[in-house]
A and B are shown apart, each in its own frame.
Chain A
Amino acid sequence: MPIVLEKASYTYAPGTPYEAAALCDIDLQIADGEFIGIMGHTGSGKSTLLQLIAGLITPSRGKVMIDGCDINARNYNRDVLRKKLSMIFQYPEYQLFETTVEKELAFSLKHSGLPGKEVKERVRRALEAVGFSYTRVRSLSPLGLSGGEKRKVAIACALVTEPKILLLDEPVAGLDPRGRKEFLEIITRRNKAGTTIIMVSHDADVLGNYAQRILVLNQGKLLLDGPAKRVFTDIEKLEALKLGVCRPRKLARRLKECGIPFPQDIAGYDEFIAAVVEVSKKGGMSHEPDTGRHVYSR
């Protein structure tokens, strides 16, 4: 398994009055090319989990293995990890510091050992992946760009190493709906090309629509882990924990409550639409024409 956590735990500031057990005995296996969504309340340990996988913090107990190697072992070469893993933090635009966009991206490739021509080529590809024209932005100052453009440059910085694993911590926070959609499309495209995506988000709708598998963290423990459809099937449990549920799943429940035999293993809008088509073919939607208003009353 490419990413394996074995009974990984993490405690902040042990032995001080600020001691906080952030993660407790996490067992987790992630295969290549998965698109994973992580949800949970504030303080449930989502960011801590990403940082453990990124090797930014060392587990207090347990192990983090990537491609069969313990990344915290003494003889493990961290450069290997840096080449195959990137992470986008919340407000990634805060990390920009170079004088030109091109240099900013090239910084991420400084230790890659790639020849200059290849670096240039990768920078061009990464900028185009986020929707920039290479020739237009390459010599602009990243600090002088608008907020949204800065965010895109920062995202390009994470993509430029062409990582095998991409970790995202609340990446869509503070983006407008269009920026959000663009961003999620970039990430989905990467995932289709084989990159493993692990994304933390407060937005159940985003996770339901884009992630294939969802992890739910609660007070430092892995509470639920499974395909998005299955995790959202247990809607009562999620609601009891005051966690968000994606809208298609809520709609499916409303339809069922209206007496329509509607499937309940729904996470994304595509699945929802497919189910609507399926059910109406069987004539299930047509027997009570004015339930439509009812459905949307929530």
Chain B
Amino acid sequence: MSRIPAGMYIPGKSFLHRLDPLAKLIGLIILLAAVIAASSPGGYLLLILFIGVLLALSGLPFKLAIAPLRRTYLFFAVIFLMNALFFADVDPLWTWWIFSLSRTGLIQGANVVLRLAIIIVAGHILISTTSPMEITAAFRRLLKPLQYINIPVDIVALIVSVAIHFIPVLAEEVEMIRKAQTVRGARFDSTRLRDRAASLLPLVIPVFVNAFKRADELALAMEARGYRGEGRRVSGPEIAFQARDFGAVLIMAAICAVQILVL
């Protein structure tokens, strides 16, 4: 039960840790495009293999990297079943009451689940190998060109940075409230769906209430310190793109192109 909160940076010296955060961010965006375009079994296989390579390059323990999937398997199961059982198709394999199991539905369900899973693991690898500071700096660099069309890049970067900083805080709070409600008799670990559904509200409501309170406090604190939303606020180490980083982005793009165009 001793979990590391989701979205926690895990310091290290692996290839992925040393890669320019901007390269990782662009890589993730390219990967997203590839995932959205994926449709054939071969395409998925390539993407999964690719994620495996990323994992090996990140030096993260396998268990840790897939932790977000293990926590959300129920969510995946529901999505899969919804797609499989409710897809209106002309010749269902099996029907009963309002349910109709169809081939198209099954494929659709598998598609959605695989895509989500790949995106979640890829995002998790990025967050685990990149410190929040680096991610913020990378966002700023990525969005920089948008400054010229009057998009408030600094504010967007600030929002992203605050959001990222709050992930571990929220995760810790969820854990604390989960424990408090467990003592009061909520059954989070029960195998019965009914128990788990009943323990959802006692978890979600306090977490939301506290998150809003925190946001209020943060806004007050920022105003009290004179924040007015202009100028450079968030900074991080300036890193220049190196050959390695270009290489990484290019390889990523190539693999994804193969995936999109060939498979």
Contact = CB atoms under 8 A, between A and B. Distances in A.
Interface of A: 10-18, 51, 54, 56-58, 82, 85-87, 89, 92, 94-97, 107-112, 143, 157-158, 161
B11 A17 contact: yes
Contacts of B177: 94-95
Interface range, B side: 20 to 34
A66 B145 CA distance: 63
Given A10-B2, A82-B184, 16 more contacts: A16-B10, A16-B64, A18-B10, A58-B1, A94-B176, A94-B206, A94-B209, A95-B177, A95-B206, A107-B202, A108-B185, A109-B185, A110-B185, A111-B187, A143-B209, A158-B183
B179 interface: yes
B4 interface: yes
A271 B209 CA distance: 45
A157 B184 contact: yes
B1 A57 contact: yes
B143 to A, nearest CB: 31
Nearest to B203: A97
B5 to A, nearest CB: 10
B210 A94 contact: yes
A96 B183 CA distance: 13
Interface of B is mostly: helix
A82 B180 CA distance: 12
B201 interface: yes
Interface of B: 1-4, 8, 10-12, 61, 64, 173, 176-177, 179-185, 187, 201-202, 205-206, 209-210
Contact of A17 (B2, B10, B179, B182): B10
Given A15-B61, A16-B64, A95-B177, A86 B2 contact: no
Contacts of B61: 15-16
Given A89-B176, A97-B205, A56 B183 contact: yes
Contacts of A97: 201-202, 205-206, 209
A108 B1 CA distance: 23
A10 B1 CA distance: 11
Nearest to A51: B179
30 contacts: A12-B2, A13-B3, A16-B10, A16-B61, A16-B64, A17-B10, A17-B11, A54-B179, A56-B182, A57-B1, A82-B183, A82-B184, A82-B185, A86-B184, A87-B180, A89-B176, A94-B173, A94-B176, A94-B177, A95-B177, A95-B181, A95-B202, A97-B201, A97-B206, A97-B209, A107-B202, A108-B184, A108-B185, A110-B185, A111-B187
Nearest to A92: B180
A14 B2 CA distance: 8
A95 B180 contact: yes
Q: 3 closest Cβ contacts across the A-B interface?
A: A97-B205, A95-B180, A108-B184
Contacts of B182: 56
